[in-house]
Chains A and B, each alone.
Chain A
Amino acid sequence: MTQSKTLYDKIWDAHVVHEADDGTSLLYIDRHLVHEVTSPQAFEGLRDAGRKVHAPDKTIVVPDHNVPTTPDRVDFIKDDQSRIQVDVLAQNVAEFNLPHYYDMKDVRQGIVHIVGPEQGWTLPGMTVVCGDSHTATHGAFGSLAHGIGTSEVEHVLATQTLIQKKSKNMKVEITGKLRPGVTAKDIALSIIGATGTAGGTGYVIEYCGEAIRALSMEGRMTVCNMAIEGGARAGMIAPDETTFAYVKGRPHSPKGADWDAALNWWKTLKSDDDAQWDKVLTLAAEDIAPVVTWGTSPEDVLPITGTVPDPSEFQGGKVNAATRSLEYMDLTPGTKLSDVRIDAVFLGSCTNGRIEDMRAAAEILKGRKVKEGVRAMAVPGSGLVRAQAEEEGLADIFREAGFEWRLAGCSMCLGMNPDQLAPGERCASTSNRNFEGRQGYRGRTHLMSPAMAAAAAVTGHLTDVRELLEE
């Protein structure tokens, strides 16, 4: 009798190039995504050692972190260091003969984790890595996808493999159906609220259950994207008809006989019924509300109907951390979250910069205006998302509501480009991290779904989107 396996076990087994006696394995990498921030030192390492890129055809390159999102970027990036990084990426692409490169002028350019799936590079059963922690996004396709450091970027460039030890298996099941106004982002944040930011450390998470199955690929990508915020090595969702329908016909997805063969294998990619789990978390979808973060860690999650907590409610080191967070966020315990005023709204990022996110925000914004004094920005995750939003009339809704409608990039998720918060500014953001200084020096971030961010834009304070849905 064969041993029962999880989805992670199956993908792992299919990629082992060599296994040492102690379990240290050399794992084959099917797709390597490369951007400008974490790659220059890796290419320099190759150059110094006289090494080549082992598999240029499996290497996908796109600048995203530094690129401005204003139309003038095509002529010139004003910031010297940002320009140098983007230029160095182009030089490395030329020097190492990398064929799959989407530069700023290419309509397909965007955030690397949005471009990969869009172009059909990300497929079920693959190993996908990138020098970026949000590589977890690609797990939505039933692939093993995770972030790596620059030394490992160099290792993959040189060998198309990674030295790995296997993680443990964790199952996160979301049972039942989501209530109106509750989205994939609320699932992602609620899981982290339940596990803490270290709850997934040492594990690969498989998300399953009725509520996960009901999500679109966009929603699944949002959930897997934030696996890293729960500390997990990777998050994944078994591929199904929703996955196959998304993948089919993409520029780099298999065609003809290859498609048939691929589909046959992909259909086997699910955890066995009797698979063993090292850890299990189950949440009922009905219990998940629209949530926001109040502090400076993604685990600081509460329903929008809640109040700012008192640090004394916590245990151990979290007491001091919460005290520090509230001081940084300028919040007083007991304040209703829906009374917290905001200065800025950011819609975008690899977490929520896809077409479905644009639609969800536009649905709230249609016929409404951004509150006076609030600065709101919509940054599509790729040039193709932007084009589709234009075509669907969403861009007009954003502009009419008073949003700035930008070009694609990581933008204010981390503010490596000029899109940053000013000190003290408070932002309703669809991004993934509310760390101190993340969106700008002394900037304050509240994480939430696109619909919730749109609702906050309209009212000027954190808002329960369900109130706007009922109107």
Chain B
Amino acid sequence: MEKFQTVTAIAAPMPLVNIDTDMIIPKQFLKTIKRSGLGKNLFDEMRYHQDGTENPNFVLNKDAYRNSEILIAGDNFGCGSSREHAPWAIKDFGIKAIISTSYADIFYNNCFKNGVLPIVMPKEVVDVLMQDAEKGANARVTVDLEAQTVTSSEGQVFDFEIDGFRKHCLLQGLDDIGLSLEKADHIAAYETQLGQSRPWV
């Protein structure tokens, strides 16, 4: 996985609450056997009309936001299914960080596995950043994971909390499986003991 670098970019405002994974990437795109190429279908049913033409009212279709690398979203972003296609599509579009008051649990986990940073901020801060994002292409927001700060286009700095282990893995671009395989001896010991304590497993 690539290391997470500081992002200074356009932020797209999506004030809707409960944006679910079916909205982020509808089912017909889950039939792929690849991880890549889903960016063009991110938010497909909001982004395109049924005939495939763009819906000009959708935020990412507006000129100012086509190159957004940050999303500012309403509460409970990513609720619904476990599909990792959601962060795959977000990443493939070019979004590197999301800011919301809350995320669904599985979606939140999935982001970290793909180098996408989901930032949790209090409602007041999300409101400020949402307004800032409404300004369009001139408003560039900076996300600094190392310092755990988000800086608005006006220079206001907001701190955020993040689990230390997750932060470390994102900054270093670490592969979870590699880390866990370093504990192969612990796994083997557990399995030996399992044969006695719960042999039916």
Contact = CB atoms under 8 A, between A and B. Distances in A.
Interface residues on B, range: 35 or more
Given A84-B33, A161-B187, A151 B113 contact: yes
B78 to A, nearest CB: 11
Interface residues of A, number: 83
B187 A437 contact: no
B105 A202 contact: yes
B57 interface: no
B180 A165 contact: no
B81 A132 contact: yes
Given A41-B34, A160-B187, A414-B27, A262 B198 contact: yes
Given A26-B186, A149-B106, A262-B200, A321 B16 contact: yes
B171 interface: no
Interface string A28-61: 1010000001101100110001010010001000
Interface stretch (A14-22, A218-226, A274-282): A14-22
B17 A28 contact: no
12 contacts: A17-B190, A22-B164, A22-B165, A28-B191, A79-B31, A161-B187, A201-B103, A231-B104, A318-B17, A321-B16, A321-B17, A433-B80
B155 interface: no
A133 interface: yes
B165 A20 contact: yes
A81 B31 contact: yes
Interface stretch (B18-26, B62-70, B134-142, B144-152): B18-26
A261 B199 contact: yes
A163 B26 contact: no
B6 interface: no
A233 B82 CA distance: 11
Interface in B172-201: 176-177, 179-181, 183-184, 186-187, 190-191, 194, 198-201
Contacts of B83: 37-38, 149
A208 to B, nearest CB: 22
B76 A197 contact: yes
Interface string A139-158: 00000001111111011001
A66 B50 CA distance: 22
Given A148-B106, A254-B200, A416-B27, A155 B163 contact: no
Nearest to A54: B187
Contacts of B165: 20, 22, 24
Contacts of B177: 45, 49, 51, 154-155, 158-159
A317 B200 contact: no
A180 interface: no
A197 B200 contact: no
A86 B163 CA distance: 38
A38 B200 contact: no
A326 B17 CA distance: 15
B64 to A, nearest CB: 21
B201 A126 contact: yes
A320 interface: yes
Contacts of B20: 297, 433, 435
A110 interface: no
Interface in A179-205: 197-198, 201-202
B132 interface: no
A198 B76 contact: yes
Contact of B180 (A26, A41, A126): A26
A116 interface: no
A416 B31 contact: yes
A50 B35 CA distance: 18
B75, B84, B176, B194 — which one has the most chain A CB atoms within 10 A of its CB? B84
A82 B31 contact: yes
Q: Nearest 7 CB-CB pairs, A to B?
A: A151-B113, A254-B200, A81-B31, A149-B110, A147-B82, A317-B17, A149-B84
Interface in A334-385: none
B123 to A, nearest CB: 8
B82, B177, B180 — which one has the most chain A CB atoms within 10 A of its CB? B82
Interface string A417-445: 00000010000000001011110011000
A174 interface: no
B74 interface: yes
A159 B190 CA distance: 12
Contact of B33 (A22, A85, A123, A165): A85
B196 to A, nearest CB: 10
B180 to A, nearest CB: 5
Contacts of B164: 22
Nearest to A130: B82
B79 interface: yes
A284 interface: no
A261 B200 CA distance: 9
B76 A201 contact: yes
A146 B28 CA distance: 24
A321 B18 contact: yes
Nearest to B111: A149
A446 B20 CA distance: 17
A297 B18 contact: yes
